[in-house]
Amino acid sequence: MKKFCAIVLFALATAAHAECYMRSSINLRLANTGPKDIQRLVTPDARGQKCVMRYRIHVDQDWQTAEGIGYGATESEACSQAIDSHRAYALVEIVPERIRADNQMVCSDLPEIRVHPVRIGDVIWQSEVDMHTIPAERKDFWYKRSRCRMFVERDGRNQNLTVNQGIICALDSRADSKWRVIDKY
């Protein structure tokens, strides 16, 4: 009986930390970029492995969080199916005139990534800052053998809109690497 109570309490404790959100289907052909800041959660499943991939895409002028779920015999097979952009779900509300949506309530233990003000030295995901407003400035460049990129940060405090620019550089050469804020001006 004590063992059963302990299992139930453990299950409730882990479920209490899960974050819930509405999930809407989206056609990702509107995306300006491929998947960025990929997070994966792999668990065993009756069919082999279940892979939940959460990532960010740039749609119109904003970063959107998307999630894909894949099943496969191996982890790599399940995760490659999960990141397939045609199976992805947007985790935000989308303008209804542009896209038909199917909503679902989903709970996850993966942390949510959002655009927010950053400081020099912060280690962030690439999509925690906005892409540069000038398309020519969005391209990656190399600085001291590191892949870097320009970003913008909008600040609307005190009814005064200011736009800061900055530079972030990848911490390593992996595609899902985090980035460090190098400069902001």
- Does the model's pTM come out above 0.85? no
Instruction: Find the domain containing 152 and state its range.
Output: 123-184
| Least confident span in 13-22, 129-138, 160-169 | 13-22
| Position 100 in a domain | yes
Q: Is residue 176 within 8 Å of residue 147, measured between CB atoms?
A: no
Are 92 and 44 found together in one domain? Answer: yes
Helix (H, G, I), strand (E, B) or coil at 60: coil
- The 10s digit of each residue's pLDDT in 98-142 is 445 566 776 777 777 778 888 999 999 888 888 887 888 888 899
- Dist. CA 67–CA 81, nearest whole Å: 11
Q: Is residue 15 within 8 Å of residue 43, measured between CB atoms?
A: no
Are 103 and 27 found together in one domain? Answer: yes
Helix (H, G, I), strand (E, B) or coil at 30: helix
- Dist. CA 135–CA 25, nearest whole Å: 27
Are 75 and 131 found together in one domain? Answer: no
- Dist. CA 103–CA 125, nearest whole Å: 26
- The 10s digit of each residue's pLDDT in 50-102 is 888 888 877 767 787 888 888 888 888 888 888 764 556 665 544 444 445 56
Q: In degrees to the nearest 10, what's the CA dihedral of 135, 140, 144, 145?
A: -170
